[in-house]
Amino acid sequence: MIHVAGVLTDSPAWRYTEVLAISLLVAYAVVSGLPTPRWAVPAALAVLMLDAVRTMPADRAEGRGWQVLRPDTAGVDRFAGVEAGLALCWASLTAVAILLAVWHRHPRRRRTTVATALAAAVITGYTVIRISAIWLTLAADHRDHPTGADLAGSVIAVSLAVLPPLGLGLAALALATALAGHRRWLASAGAALLAVTALPHVDAAIRAVPLPLHAGDQLAWSAAYAIGSTPSTPYPVTALITLLELTAYLLLVTGLADFHPPTSTARTEADQSRR
């Protein structure tokens, strides 16, 4: 909560709070019992730790500097959004991929599969709607101003930008389904919660693409349009996303502690019992 409060107020009480939080998760996993294979959870947490170190707030003693912004004369940077999306999602996506690679085999449950398919349709549909809205807006502007923004370049840039968050959402849903198949409901809830963060990450990645201010933002799900910022709390949306991510990591580690996936023999017996 200290880290979330620091993100909310843009005034971290201690710059190492996120690193400390991930370290506590590692300690809890080790003390509670690492699941088999024993390297999976530490490897996933190591990726999160690396990202926490990379994104540590600057030391206040270092002071502030200047940043010079110049107009872009080379057109739309098609990779600006995907770079922003990767910066936001690479650690979570890598951690989910590690866990999914280990526990992707699971007994299939019809209700869980249907719920996952619906959730995946929501995330994918929202992404497609955002891209379509931006394309329609830019196409209308292009008809009125043919010499304006590069229509094809902008649409390609937006399409590339949403790939990392979309990948995170779908991979997290797949992990939630796999863990539910192993009856690890707490960890499954954590993976599902991590999938929810893909939606605001989609908006953040799109905003990293240089577009007209009105292009598609009227359809943005992001809470930035519902939660107003104040001088004392300038980043409520970022703080909310941080809270969701930390809660998801906590649920994942807590749910996987002392977890031993069933052997092939146990899976066969379970399948026969269901028949």
The whole model's pTM is what? 0.81
pLDDT tens profile 8-44: 666 676 677 888 889 999 998 888 877 778 889 999 9
Sketch the domain layout of the chain as residue ranges.
76-252
CB 4 within 8 A of CB 228: no
CB 168 within 8 A of CB 88: no
pLDDT tens profile 217-256: 555 555 455 566 666 666 777 788 888 999 999 999 999 8
Best CA proximity match to 142, nearest among 218, 215, 219, 220: 215
SS (H, E, C) 195-224: HHCHHHHHHHHHHCCCCCCCCCHHHCCCHH
**The pair of three-digit structure tokens given for residue 245, joined into one six-digit string:** 């991510």
CB 85 within 8 A of CB 55: no
pLDDT tens profile 151-204: 777 888 889 999 999 999 999 999 999 999 888 899 999 999 999 999 989 988
